[in-house]
Amino acid sequence: MFGYAANFTVYTMAMIGLICFALFVYKKFFVNSSFNNKSQFLGLEESLNIAPRKSIHVIRAGNEKFLIACDVDKTTLISKLNENQTRCEKRINEELPVIVDFQKKNILKDMVKKINEI
């Protein structure tokens, strides 16, 4: 009786290991390929985790960049970023973009309209 239980345990562990390996391979190669649709209009430039469930992101929409804060419950637009420097100057000086005042308009609606026009 002990031999049957030992064989059952060994084969069950082997099958669980095979299923975990197949899941790992699936996630590594097949799931990421569906997210490789790089948008020319929208993109994530930088991201920084500031707390376990809070982060800030720099989002590129066309030629404009926006600083947003993400929380579990909501996403908040902090500011529109203004880049006065070219990329080469930015690499040399290694300065951050200047934060400009943000007008409280319906920016999200304007962004959706711009996206729909494209």
84-112 mean pLDDT: 58
- Where is average pLDDT lowest: 56-60, 76-80, 107-111? 107-111
* Predicted local confidence at residue 28, as pLDDT: 80
Of the listed ranges 3-17, 31-45, 59-73, 84-98, the least confidently predicted one is 84-98
Beta bridge partners of 55: 49, 70
Query: CB under 8 Å to 23, separation ≥6 — which residues?
Result: none
What mean pLDDT value characterizes the chain? 78
The owner of tokens 């934060």 is 99
Can you tell me the distance from the alpha carbon of 14 to that of 33, in angstroms, rounded to the nearest whole number? Answer: 29
d(C-alpha 82, C-alpha 58), whole Å = 12
Pairing of strands 98-99, 54-61: unpaired
